[in-house]
Amino acid sequence: MSKSLVIDHFAPDAVMRGLLDGEDFRNRVPGTTVYTCPRCAHRIRFRWRSFYQADGRSHLQRKLRHIFDDLTPELRAATQSFIDFHCPTCQAPTRIIFSIHEGGNISLHFDIYAVLVGEGMSR
């Protein structure tokens, strides 16, 4: 018995507020950005540090993680990582996929590629 799993793909600016666009980048994480769960509207504030500290570890169960991995593309010409979590309100499994760019003399830049969101529990 396998239960069907719906995972939707969201453009960064559909679910995250405050991302920056520039001449040669899109959807760049500023000091802080607010993510809104598309299933239940729960908001989570992410800081630049959250992306800096992301290390590819996942809080999702293995089976779910593999499904998300299959849906995560290899981004061209970029180092990439992701942040996995369950929405604290509706439990929707969520993956924020982003690329990592050297930022000159100061730091790194993180550009959001997409957000994958599974089903929440309150449907």
Amino acid at the residue 120: G
Q: Is residue 67 involved in binding Zn ion (CB under 5 A)?
A: no
37 binds Zn ion (CB under 5 A): yes
Cα torsion 72, 33, 89, 119: sign:
negative
The pair of structure tokens assigned to 97 is 């996929």
Looking at 27-35, 37-45, 62-70, 107-115, which segment touches Zn ion (CB under 5 A)?
A: 37-45
Contact in structure between 77 and 32 (CB atoms under 8 Å): no
Provide, rounded to whole angstroms, the least separation between the CB of residue 121 and Zn ion.
9
Residue type, 32: T
* One residue of 39, 68, 114, 117 binding Zn ion per CB under 5 A: 39
Residues at the interface with Zn ion (CB under 5 A): 37, 39-40, 42, 87, 89-90, 92
